[in-house]
Amino acid sequence: MANTCSKARDFFGVIQRIYTIFTASTKRWQILKDNVKGLTVKSLSSTRWESRVESVKAIRFQMSDIREALLQVADSNDKDYNIKSEAKSLANNELGDFEFLIAIVIWYEILFAINLVSKLLQSKDMLIDVAIKKIRGLISFFEGYRETGFYDALSKAKDIAIEMDIDPMFPQKREIKRKKHFDENPSTSSNAPLSPEESFRVDYFLYIVDQAISSLYKRFEQFEEYENIFGFLFTPQRMKSLDDLSLKSSCLNFENALMSNEKSDIDGNELFVELKLLKEILHNDIKGPFDIFE
| End-of-domain residue from the set 44, 62, 95 | 95
The pLDDT tens digits for 56-78 are 999 999 999 999 999 999 998 87
Do 213 and 135 contact (CB within 8 A), yes or no?
A: no
The pLDDT tens digits of the residues spanning 233-257 come to 888 888 888 999 999 999 999 999 9
Contact between residue 67 and residue 96 where contact means Cβ atoms under 8 Å apart? yes
Q: Same domain for 77 and 124?
A: no
Query: Is residue 178 included in any domain, yes or no?
Result: no
Q: Are 120 and 218 in contact (CB under 8 A)?
A: no
How many domains would you assign to the chain? 3
- For 263-291, write each residue's pLDDT tens digit: 888 999 999 999 999 988 888 788 778 88
Tell me the C-alpha distance between 164 and 158, whole Å: 10
CA distance linking residue 126 with residue 258, whole number of Å? 22
Task: Say if CB 168 and CB 161 are below 8 A apart.
Answer: yes
Beta bridge partner(s), residue 263: 260
d(CA 106, CA 125): 31
pLDDT higher than threshold 80 for residue 51: no
Whether residue 145 is found in the same domain as residue 250 = no
**Which one, of 60, 66, 56, lies nearest residue 32 by Cα?**
66
Residues contacting residue 52 through CB under 8 Å, at least 6 positions apart: 12, 44, 111, 115
The answer to whether residues 121 and 133 touch, using CB atoms and an 8 Å cutoff, is no
> Residue 285 has what DSSP assignment?
T
Amino acid 273: pLDDT: 95
* Residue 19 to residue 55: CA distance in whole angstroms: 8
98 or 187, greater pLDDT: 98
User: What is the reported pTM?
Assistant: 0.81
Does residue 1 contact residue 214 with C-beta atoms inside 8 Å?
A: no
Q: Taking all residues of the chain, what is their mean pLDDT, rounded to a whole number?
A: 87
At 13, which amino acid appears?
G
Residue 119 shares a structural domain with residue 220: yes
Residue 210 near residue 234, CB atoms below 8 Å: no
Spell out the residues 6+ positions from residue 18 whose beta carbon is closer than 8 angstroms to its own: 41, 59, 66, 70, 90
256 & 284 share domain: yes
pLDDT bin (cut points 50, 70, 90) of residue 190 is low
Q: Which of 95, 126, 153 is the last residue of a domain?
A: 95
Q: Which of 59-68, 74-83, 177-186 is predicted least confidently? A: 177-186
Q: What is the pLDDT of residues 111-136, one digit of tens each?
A: 999 988 988 888 877 888 888 999 99
Which amino acid would we find at residue 94?
E
Q: What is the pLDDT of residue 151?
A: 95
Task: For residues 222 and 249, state if they share a domain.
Answer: no
What pLDDT was estimated at residue 250? Answer: 94
Question: Where does the pLDDT of residue 45 fall: very low under 50, low under 70, confident under 90, or very high at 90 and above?
Answer: low
Per-residue confidence (pLDDT) for residue 124, from 0 to 100 = 78
Integer Cα distance of 17 and 25 in angstroms: 13
What's residue 239's pLDDT? 87
Q: For residue 171, what pLDDT is reported? A: 76
Residue 179: pLDDT band with limits 50, 70, 90 = low
Assigned domain for 184 exists: no
| Claim to verify: residue 123 and residue 224 sit in the same structural domain | yes
Predicted confidence at residue 238, as pLDDT, reads: 86
218 in any annotated domain: yes
**269 and 244, same structural domain?**
yes
Structure confidence at residue 80 (pLDDT): 84
Are 218 and 245 in a shared domain?
Answer: no
Write down the pLDDT at residue 201.
Answer: 94
Residue 183 lies in a domain: no
- In which domain, by residue range, is 11 found? 1-95
Find the mean pLDDT for residues 200-217: 93
Q: Please measure the distance between the N-terminal and C-terminal CA atoms of the chain and give it in whole angstroms.
A: 40
pLDDT for the residue 147: 95
Q: What percent of the chain has pLDDT over 90?
A: 56
Cα 10 off chain centre by:
16
User: Considering the domain boundaries, does residue 154 fall inside one?
Assistant: yes
State whether 224 and 244 are in the same domain: no
pLDDT higher than 90, residue 194? no
